[in-house]
Structure 1
Amino acid sequence: DGSENGVPVSVGGRDYAVRCYSVSSKSKKYFLTLWEDRTETERAVAEMNDNDTTVAYVMADNLEELAQYAKESTREAANELEKLLGEWAESAGGILKEYQSDRYIFLFRAAEMAGFVEKKFDILDRIREIRVGESSLSVTVSMGISRISGSLADKERVAAEALDMALQRGGDQAVVKSAKGLEFFGGKTQTVQKRTKVRARVIANELAAVMSKSSNVLIMGHRAADFDCIGACIGIARLASFCGVRFNIICNFKDPNFKKCYNRICGIDEYGSGTVFVSAADAQELIGSDTLTVIVDVNSKMQLEAPAVAEMSGRTVYIDHHRKTAEFDEAPLISYIEPSASSACELVAEILEQSVPSGTLLREEADIMYAGILLDTKQFTRNSGVKTFSAALYLRGEGANPAEAQTLFKACLDDFISEAKFESNVVIYRKVLAISCSDDENNGPSDRIAAAKAADKLLTVEGVKASFALCRIGDKIHISARSSGEINVQLILEKLEGGGHFDSAATQLESSMSEALTRLKGAVDEYFRENIS
């Protein structure tokens, strides 16, 4: 091989670049090797890389929220946090400076990263042991670390992006961003819901301004839309109408949930005219240079109702309550991803409350949005905070009727029978996980909903801390996961290219049922090795 750089070879503790040349003489062929000693050069490069400066941002997630429970003890917890972070930074020979209340910038040698990664950023576990007062509430932090070469300005920008990703995934974790992609560490606790509506007010103003400058607005959610997705789409449509912009909602006309919602609002002239709702194919014809695409209740391109529309549209907005799993290919105009929110309808209700006059939202629209919150909070029993009830109160003020919203949840006899299939085929794995399967080739889209309900029911079994319901639909296996709050099912299904929340997640696999079960158990085993001692 006579290549310019040669082949790297190590002999006797020395590093060489070896080149090989063929030489012919008197009908004989010889091979000549040239050995270039690069030991000192390689050591110098390695030392330079080890001494390169790494930039990280560290931010306390929940001290402000925890102050409502024990205000006098919060500062003590903040001091303890600063001391622990200071000791950690000192052990790495780094510099830690607080640039804003409970926000820090951390500079250290790149060589220290290997130790942090090997220990899986165990500083997160030590910080989690800090308690506010005598309560059982833990202090948590988020970290964004830049692992790239380049200028300090580039590293600072990438660290900020990594921190933003950590926050959009729910906090209590470290995100390392390098040229190869993203690495995640931590994420063992549920998010604490923020009480302030400042961010919602800012987003509402930005969204209204962007809409007003658009020629038209396309609105969509995820495939197999549920009431939360449809309700959020309808809420955004009402905002677009208020801004005086033409709007369309991209949907699947065959979806049973869409049919229920459409029957509820078809009496309204705007929706009954047949021009508001469009298919994914027809939506592509509506895209112009000033078209704004608003995507709700999803942030993964693979799960979009119309991925092609998102790719063709140069101006996008994301509003979602699921944890972010990957970076966007192109930066959206607005990214409002709040994992602490109960539902997309909660986020949209906050936006409407801040941007449109009272009475703008129609009663039928409020009913569907209220149903969306009911769905994702399991009738206000899960992941419901102050802002959740505030959003529900706003919708009630706009005419939402809980009794009317409940009628959307009525199931037909076939759906009731579908749910029973899962309850008769349950196995317990690792003593605390319940797994149920339905491998019936006749399963349809409604069975995916039955699987989600079955996963919810399995949590009522004594001793079950997390549940998984697997359902074959066509050539794909759909997995719905639920948790009682001790096991992070989002981290488990992320290993299978899925995502969601700490206590509610989903994914789909193109495989056989047996292969899906094997992969699921492998993901569970890996999660237990990484997070549960």
Structure 2
Amino acid sequence: MTVIGIISLDNYDDLIDQMDDKYISTLNSLVTTIISDWANSYHIFYKRLNSERYLFVANEYNLEEMQEKKFPILNQVKEAEMHSEFILTISIGISYGQDDIESIGERAQMNLDLAQARGGDQVVVRGEDPDSKPLFYGGNTDGTIRRTRTRSRAMSVALKRLFSENKKVFIMGHRFPDMDAVGASFGMAAIAQMVGIKPYILINYKQMNPDMSRCLEELKQYPELNELLIEEEEAIASIDKQSLLVMIDHNKPSLGISELVYQASEKVIIIDHHRRSEEFPVRPLLTYIETSASSTSELVSEFIQFLTTRKQRLPRLVPTLLLAGIYVDTKNFIVKTTGKTFDVASFLKSKGADNPLIQYLLSSDLDSYLLISRLVARSKYYRKDILISVAEDEEIYDSITVAKTADTLLSLNGINASFVITKQADDKIGISARSTGKINVQAIMEALNGGGHFTNAATQLSGKTLEEVQELLYVELDQRNFNEE
């Protein structure tokens, strides 16, 4: 079978931005040499398309050999001396099959797009069978920062145009929403109101956690915001051809508050900061997935910066909810924090974000604190920098308590990754995973039918016991040689 692959340099522009011409020429020669040597080792045809992209053509035997060796070219490029403070990474999209060359090439481009949407530094391989799962290789470094003010402004303009072309906007976060999903949802609703159309925020009152309960109580003091909340049945009845669905803080339809609302929506927009998974909406109108962002609240706040004027101001409480979302996903500005994060936080403070209220919304009550302490006490070392906690059989935990436990374990000295396994609602066993950035917990959770972010991921498994899920996690860690010192 014919195999077509496309190689892209993830952060080429960042590298050459401050290089003089001599080093740029050296960089181009070095990368071309690495790729040429790699291609020649398999006796495949390759061609440089431009400064950032290469094309290669191979056969099935070559691909099997590449997969067996797990694409060492990823590390060869990263370890090369580039005379830059940045580390160069590459992404590769590969497709194969017996159909026409044009179709194989188009799928290779789609696979490359998927690799880059997941943060780059990885290979995605998928053939002609539409039901087959893509195979991922690499992905061992965090996402490359591609977000610029120019791109953020362009996305805000595109959002404004799409909103203005429709009459209703339905905004949906993920199941059991955290403050990032809530803050980003109300921020997106504020954008819709600035454009002059009616927003609706989907909610499921059965999917509540302590943080959300406090938030809902606070919203009662703001009737203009509280009236935006809508439940599944009412939303489905209201959706028509002039409606948009905005998926916030998730890109897998199965993770949304309501799959029925997603299925009823013809027009979909995705705003997220988690790595793209294989399950993805078909032909969304607009996709903005920035894995380098601290949170979806940060992305939405950037849009708002370009749309607010003296006449169009943020509703009260919205800046507070957005900043609370950033607090949650950055662990109080410790994880995934960049200069852009502080710029956005400063903007939200200038718009009236209330820090004491944020502290109240994110606080833990005594019962939750005791549950967290109990889970921490049950943690054991997998190796000296990885902790795993498994709950008691009879206890059922909400996702927020489990996530806070994983964060607590990660904050301990010398710990690079933590996993908390608990029984959750609907007879499911959940794993909440956290990392300092040295271990890709998203790839581990994906292998267990979950997903998430490089440093923040989770999964839920049905029909398993706590012991069985623990064993599955151990097997996955063992396969990745994490048991080695």
Q: Same fold (TM over 0.5)?
A: yes
Q: CA deviation at 1:195?
A: 4.8
In the alignment, what sits opposite 2:362?
A: 409
SS in 2 for 1:106: strand
In the alignment, what sits opposite 1:155?
A: 104
Aligned length: 476
In the alignment, what sits opposite 1:168?
A: 117
Would the alpha carbon gap of residues 491 and 462 (structure 1) be closer, same or farther in structure 2, given more than 3 Å must change?
A: same
When the two chains are superposed, the root-mean-square deviation of aligned CA atoms in Å is 2.3
The superposition leaves residues 126-161 of structure 1 with CA deviations (integer Å, 9 ceiling, x where unpaired) of 1121243375x4321011112233333222211111
In the alignment, what sits opposite 1:142?
A: 91
The superposition leaves residues 148-175 of structure 1 with CA deviations (integer Å, 9 ceiling, x where unpaired) of 3333322221111111100111100011
In the alignment, what sits opposite 2:221?
A: 267
Q: CA deviation at 1:67?
A: 5.0
In the alignment, what sits opposite 1:8?
A: none
**Partners of 2:279 and 2:110 in 1: how far apart?**
9
In the alignment, what sits opposite 2:417?
A: 466
Q: Which moved more, 1:351-360 or 1:503-512?
A: 351-360
**Partners of 1:131 and 1:532 in 2: how far apart?**
28
The superposition leaves residues 34-76 of structure 1 with CA deviations (integer Å, 9 ceiling, x where unpaired) of xxxxxxxxxxxxxxx3xx3x32221111233345687785653
The one of 431, 456, 463 equivalent to 2:407 is 456
Q: CA deviation at 1:440?
A: 5.1
The superposition leaves residues 60-96 of structure 1 with CA deviations (integer Å, 9 ceiling, x where unpaired) of 1123334568778565344322220122223333343
Identity of aligned residues (%): 34
Following superposition of structure 1 onto structure 2, how do residues 383-422 of structure 1 map, counting pairs within 5 Å? 383-422=336-375
The one of 229, 235, 240 equivalent to 1:277 is 229
Following superposition of structure 1 onto structure 2, how do residues 30-41 of structure 1 map, counting pairs within 5 Å? none
Letter in 2 for 1:258: M
Q: CA deviation at 1:467?
A: 0.8
TM-score (norm 2): 0.92
In the alignment, what sits opposite 1:198?
A: 150
Q: Which has the larger share of strand? A: 1
Following superposition of structure 1 onto structure 2, how do residues 321-336 of structure 1 map, counting pairs within 5 Å? 321-336=273-288
The superposition leaves residues 362-385 of structure 1 with CA deviations (integer Å, 9 ceiling, x where unpaired) of 341011100101110111111111
In the alignment, what sits opposite 1:443?
A: 396
SS in 2 for 1:190: coil
Tell me, yes or no, if the aligned pair for 2:120 and 2:144 is still in contact at 8 Å: no
Tell me, yes or no, if the aligned pair for 1:362 and 1:398 is still in contact at 8 Å: no
Q: CA deviation at 1:177?
A: 2.0
The one of 447, 466, 483 equivalent to 1:513 is 466
Q: Which moved more, 1:396-405 or 1:138-147?
A: 396-405
In the alignment, what sits opposite 2:383?
A: 430
Q: Greater Rg, structure 1 or structure 2?
A: 1
Letter in 1 for 2:58: F
Following superposition of structure 1 onto structure 2, how do residues 47-58 of structure 1 map, counting pairs within 5 Å? 49=1, 52=2, 54-58=3-7
SS in 2 for 1:285: helix
Would the alpha carbon gap of residues 374 and 329 (structure 1) be closer, same or farther in structure 2, given more than 3 Å must change?
A: closer
Q: CA deviation at 1:296?
A: 0.6
Instruction: Give ranges in structure 1 of 5+ residues lacking alignment.
Output: 1-48
**Partners of 2:423 and 2:279 in 1: how far apart?**
29
Q: CA deviation at 1:217?
A: 1.1
**Partners of 1:406 and 1:71 in 2: how far apart?**
48
Q: CA deviation at 1:456?
A: 1.6
Letter in 2 for 1:114: E
Instruction: Give ranges in structure 2 of 5+ residues lacking alignment.
Output: none
**Partners of 2:372 and 2:110 in 1: how far apart?**
42
In the alignment, what sits opposite 1:39?
A: none
Would the alpha carbon gap of residues 373 and 329 (structure 1) be closer, same or farther in structure 2, given more than 3 Å must change?
A: closer
Letter in 1 for 2:320: D
Following superposition of structure 1 onto structure 2, how do residues 48-197 of structure 1 map, counting pairs within 5 Å? 49=1, 52=2, 54-66=3-15, 73=23, 76-133=26-83, 135=85, 137-178=86-127, 179=129, 180-197=132-149
SS in 1 for 2:480: helix
Q: CA deviation at 1:352?
A: 1.8
**Partners of 1:334 and 1:134 in 2: how far apart?**
34
Matched, 1:288 2:240: yes
Q: CA deviation at 1:495?
A: 0.9
Would the alpha carbon gap of residues 469 and 405 (structure 1) be closer, same or farther in structure 2, given more than 3 Å must change?
A: same
Would the alpha carbon gap of residues 329 and 318 (structure 1) be closer, same or farther in structure 2, given more than 3 Å must change?
A: closer
TM-score (norm 1): 0.84
